[in-house]
Amino acid sequence: MDGKQQERRRVYDPVLRSLHWWNAAAIVALLATGWGSELFEHGARERAVWTVHVYAGYGLVLGLVARLAWGLVGPRHARFTDMWHPQAWRGLLTRFRLPADHRWGHDPIASAVYLAIYGMLVVMAVTGIALAATELGIGPLAGGALDQVWLGKLLEEPHEFFANFIAAFIFVHLCALWVHQRFGGVPVAQSMWTGVQVHAKRGEATHA
């Protein structure tokens, strides 16, 4: 890290890290089955692939609910308040100025992206449950008032749009982790494995 001393601190708790990887696995499974279904389109295995897709969606819903709960009652750096940095965001929007110093926990800029992604995942979960009912006739909405063909057609495009957006986010996210490691000497990725965050020593961390 350009000769600078490193400061390490255990920041992310085991529950937070477990939920991170649970949701990541669910998202990968959803993307894989969603794209993979095209290989079996109109075939005997198509419904089986979509059924796996739906159950992966249930797994994501479970993970999102658990993450929401942990974001309300978990330790400091697991809470959604740790992702709320209006002062830093205001500085970026009005003065085009990034936060000057590091902080422990969620980075202000990354936090804004994460909150947006969580919102998209919630939309995907809701639209996915509705599509499971209208397209496959399964799930809690099957046979109900919302099990309508027109509703399925209405929700299909936004569901696919957000899926592609999240796939793009994953690619950018992985690239950013590599850039931090390669050019900044900061092993950001390992913080979600070990819970330990690393910064160059710059005095006291700021809290935007």
The CATH number of the domain holding residue 67 is 1.20.950.20
Quote the tokens at residue 208: 């935007």
Token pair 């979509």 is found at 50
Task: Return the pLDDT at 111.
Answer: 83
Cα 122 from Cα 104, distance rounded (Å): 27
63 and 15 Cβ atoms separated by less than 8 Å: no
Task: Say if 197 falls within a structural domain.
Answer: no
Quote the tokens at residue 104: 């422990």
Single-letter amino acid, residue 108: P
Task: Return the pLDDT at 200.
Answer: 65
Task: Return the pLDDT at 95.
Answer: 61
Token pair 């993970």 is found at 63
In the predicted model, is pLDDT for residue 199 greater than 80? no
Kindly report, residue by residue over 157-198, the tens digit of the pLDDT.
Answer: 889 999 999 999 999 989 988 887 787 677 777 888 898 887
Task: Say if 4 falls within a structural domain.
Answer: no
Displacement of CA 113 from its chain's centroid (Å): 9
Task: Return the pLDDT at 93.
Answer: 67
Task: Return the pLDDT at 3.
Answer: 46
Where is pLDDT greater, at 47 or 101?
47
The whole domain housing 61 covers 10-190
The tally of domains found in the chain comes to 1
**DSSP symbol at 193:** H
Cα 149 from Cα 134, distance rounded (Å): 6
Task: Return the pLDDT at 8.
Answer: 81
Q: pTM of whole model > 0.85?
A: no
pLDDT confidence tier of residue 85, bands split at 50, 70 and 90:
confident
Percentage of the chain lying above the pLDDT 70 cut: 83
Task: Return the pLDDT at 102.
Answer: 62
- What is the gyration radius of the CA atoms in the chain, in angstroms? 20
Kindly report, residue by residue over 6-57, the tens digit of the pLDDT.
Answer: 778 888 999 999 999 999 999 999 999 998 887 777 777 888 898 999 999 9
DSSP track, 96-129: ----SS--SSS-HHHHHHHHHHHHHHHHHHHHHH
- Poorest-pLDDT segment among 13-27, 49-63, 66-80, 126-140: 126-140
At 29, give phi and psi (nearest 5°).
-65, -40
